[in-house]
Chains A and B, each alone.
Chain A
Amino acid sequence: MPATYADPAQLRALVKPEAVHRDLYTDPEVFRLEMRHLFANTWVYVGHASQIPNPGDYLTTEIGDQPVMASRHTDGQVHVLYNRCPHKGTKIASEACGNTGKFFRCPYHAWSFKTDGSLLAIPFRKGYEGTGLEESEAVRGLAPVGATKVYRDFIFARLAPTGVGFEEFFGESLSSIDNMVDRSPEGKLVLEGAPLRYMHPCNWKMLVENQTDTCHPMVAHESSAGTAVSVWEREQAKGGPKPMAVEVYAPFMAPYDFFEKMGLRVWPNGHGHTGVTTSIHADYSAIPGYYDQMVEAYGKERAEKILGENRHNTVYFPNIMVKGPIQTLRVFKPIAADKTLVESYTFRLVGAPDMLFERTLMYNRLINAPTSIVGHDDLEMYERAQLGLHADGMEWVNIQRLYAEGEAEDVTDVAGGTSERQMRNQFHAWLKYMLPEGQAQEAAE
C-alpha cells in the first residue's frame, strides 16, 4: 500500500473489525501520524503526584515524541509543560526528577520561568525594548499542554488544546485505578523504587495488545513459568512453604479454561481489562496483618470488596497498563515504528506492611525487567513478529478470536477471557483518535 496516510480514507482502510494492516506496526509514516494525532488527542499518563510532592519539584517524560515535564507550582497545583525553552528550544529540565527551587532557569541564556511556566525574567531585557517581543509567543514562557488532570494522584495530559474530556475519555475504566489506590488502608499510593527500563525492538502496540492476550502465557511462557513449576515440584521435597516467586510464576501456566473463565471487560475509547471474575493474582498468600488493617480502615464489607477485585491487566489506552492487585504501572513509550521503551513502575500502599511492597518489587523484577525470563519469552515473540510482518505474502494481522459480526464498538461490555475483543477495542479507538477531529464521528455514521 502506498504511504499516503495523511489521507483519512487510506488510514481508515487499515483497520477492519477483525484484522489490522501490518503498516500499523511497520510504517514510519503511520508512526509519525500517531505521534501527531493519536498521542495528541488522547489523555496520556505523565507521572504520579507522589514523585513531585513539594513546590518546585518536577519530573520529565514524553507524551508520544513530545518532551514534557510536570511541575509542582507554589500553590500546589501540577502543571504539565512542554520541556522547551521559548527562546531557542533548549530543554529546560534534564533529569528524570528533581527540584528547581522557586523558578526554572534556562541554562543557555538564563531566561527564567515560574514553576507554572510563566516568564519570570530575561537578563539584560532592555535589548528587547521596542522589538515587539511582547507580541511574540516566546514571551508567554514555557508552553502548557492542552489540558492536565490529576486523578487520585495519577497525572494525565492531553496535548491538544481541545478534544475529549478526561471523564468522557476514561469513564468507568478509572475503577481500576480506584481499586489500586483503595488497597492502601490510607487510600494513598507512593511511587517508590526505580523504574525497570526495558528496550523492545518492536512497535509499541504489540506490547499494549499483549496485555490482554491470554492465549500466549501457557505457550510462550512454558519455558519460564513451566520450568519454574517443574523445578519447584522437584525441590519442594526438601520442605518449606511455597516461595513467593513460585506463587508469582506458576499462574502463568494456568490452562486456557482458567483464562477464558476469568473474563475480560471493554470500555469505550480503547480501555479494557482482563480478570473480571478472578485472575492469576487471586491466589497469593495473605500478607500478615494486612487484611486486619483494611477491615479497620474500611469496614469488613468494603474491605472484602476491594480485596476481592482481582483484576489482571487494565489497559488505559493508548499506552499504559495498571495491575491493581500488584501495584505496578507499565508505560509503553513509542520511540520509532519498531522501537519501544517499556518503563515499569512500582507503588507502595501507604500504611500497608512492607511485605506487600516487597512482593510488588519482586513481581516487577521477575516479570518486567530486562533480566526477567518471562520478559525474555515475550520480547522474543514481539521481535519475531516485527520481523515477520515484513513478509509480503500476507499484509493483515488477525484479531478475530471470539469475534461475532456486528460486535458493538466503543461500548462497555464483558466477554470471554480469551477473546481478542480488547485488541479490537483498541484499534477502534486508535482509528478514532488518529483521524482529524470530527472525522471520527462522520466515520461512525
Chain B
Amino acid sequence: MSVTEETTANVTEADLTAFIYREARLLDELRYEEWLSLYAEDAHYWMPAEWQQTDPKLQASLMYEDMLLLRIRVERLSGARTFSQKPKSRAQHLLQAPQVDEIDMAANRFRTWTPFHYAETRGDEFTMYAGWARHEMRLEEGQLKIVLKRVDLVNFDAPMGNIQLFM
C-alpha cells in the first residue's frame, strides 16, 4: 500500500492495530460506555446471516444496529429486571493480528480485517464462536471512530443459543 510520509504521520498500521486491540479489551472488561465512544454517531454494528452478504437490510442479518439500538443493548445489560443477565455474562476475545486493508487519508477511510475466536460465558455455560471482524473507520477530530463493524461468523447459518454480548 502506498502511503505518503505525511499521511503515515497521521494514521499508521500500528495505530489501527492498537485501536482494534483496544476495542476488544474494552469489551472483555465490560467497559461498554467507553466502547460505545469508539463508534461514530452514524455507525453500524452488523452481523450478517448469509454467506458473503452484500446488503444488511434486504438480506437476513443477525444484527444490524445503529447507535440507538446499541445504546439500548448496553443499557439493558445492567437493567434491574434484565433476568437473562442474572447471572451476568462475560466475554473474551482472542484476536489474530489485524490486517490493514486500506489506509486512505484523502478519503478519511481506514479498513482492517481481523480473524477472531470469541468466548461468551454465563453461569455454567461456556460458548465459543469463530469468525472475522471487519472494521471501517474514520478520523473525527483526530480520533479514530468506527463507522462500520462487520462480524461474520464462520457458522452464521447454524442454530445458536443466546449471544448477549458483543464480538
Would A227 and B72 be within 8 Å (CB), given that A377-B83, A379-B84 are in contact? yes
Interface flag for A341 (CB, 8 Å): yes
Q: Which residue of A lies closest to B61 (CB)?
A: A365
Complex Cα gap A179–B68 (Å)? 33
Complex Cα gap A357–B55 (Å)? 13
Interface flag for A223 (CB, 8 Å): yes
Do B68 and A369 touch across chains, with their CB atoms under 8 A apart?
no
Do A193 and B60 touch across chains, with their CB atoms under 8 A apart?
yes
Residues of B within 8 A of A343 (CB): 159
Residues of A within 8 A of B50 (CB): 193-194
Residues of A within 8 A of B73 (CB): 373
Do A364 and B161 touch across chains, with their CB atoms under 8 A apart?
no
Do B83 and A196 touch across chains, with their CB atoms under 8 A apart?
no
Interface flag for B47 (CB, 8 Å): yes
Do A245 and B160 touch across chains, with their CB atoms under 8 A apart?
no
- Residues 205-243 of A, flagged 1 when their CB comes within 8 A of B and 0 if not, give 000000000000000101110111011100100000001
Complex Cα gap A194–B59 (Å)? 8
Do A370 and B62 touch across chains, with their CB atoms under 8 A apart?
yes
Do A198 and B58 touch across chains, with their CB atoms under 8 A apart?
no
Residues of B within 8 A of A370 (CB): 62, 159-163
Find B59's partner among A193, A243, A371 (CB 8 Å cutoff).
Answer: A193
Q: Could you say which of A220, A235, A370 has the most chain B C-beta atoms within 10 Å of its C-beta?
A: A370
- Residues 22-63 of B, flagged 1 when their CB comes within 8 A of A and 0 if not, give 000000000000000000000000010110000001111111
Interface flag for B108 (CB, 8 Å): no
Residues of B within 8 A of A375 (CB): 162
Complex Cα gap A126–B127 (Å)? 54
Do B71 and A199 touch across chains, with their CB atoms under 8 A apart?
no
Complex Cα gap A198–B161 (Å)? 6
Complex Cα gap A98–B57 (Å)? 25
Interface flag for B79 (CB, 8 Å): yes
For chain A, which range describes its interface: under 10, 10 to 19, 20 to 34, or 35 or more residues? 35 or more
Complex Cα gap A282–B62 (Å)? 25
- Residues 162-197 of A, flagged 1 when their CB comes within 8 A of B and 0 if not, give 000000000000000000000000000000011111
Would A380 and B84 be within 8 Å (CB), given that A365-B60, A365-B63 are in contact? yes
Do B81 and A223 touch across chains, with their CB atoms under 8 A apart?
yes
Would A223 and B161 be within 8 Å (CB), given that A357-B58, A361-B60 are in contact? no
Complex Cα gap A354–B58 (Å)? 8
- Residues 368-388 of A, flagged 1 when their CB comes within 8 A of B and 0 if not, give 011101011101110010000
> Which residues of B in the span 140-167 have a Cβ within 8 Å of any Cβ on A?
157-164
Find A197's partner among B58, B63, B157 (CB 8 Å cutoff).
Answer: B157
Interface flag for B64 (CB, 8 Å): yes
Interface residues, chain A, with chain B CB atoms under 8 Å away = 193-201, 220, 222-224, 226-228, 230-232, 235, 243, 245-246, 249, 341, 343, 346, 354, 357-358, 361-362, 364-365, 369-371, 373, 375-377, 379-381, 384
Given contacts A249-B72, A373-B76, A379-B162, could you give 17 more A-B pairs where the C-beta distance is less than 8 Å?
A196-B60, A200-B161, A222-B79, A223-B76, A223-B82, A226-B79, A226-B81, A227-B76, A358-B57, A358-B58, A361-B57, A362-B57, A369-B49, A370-B160, A371-B47, A376-B164, A384-B83
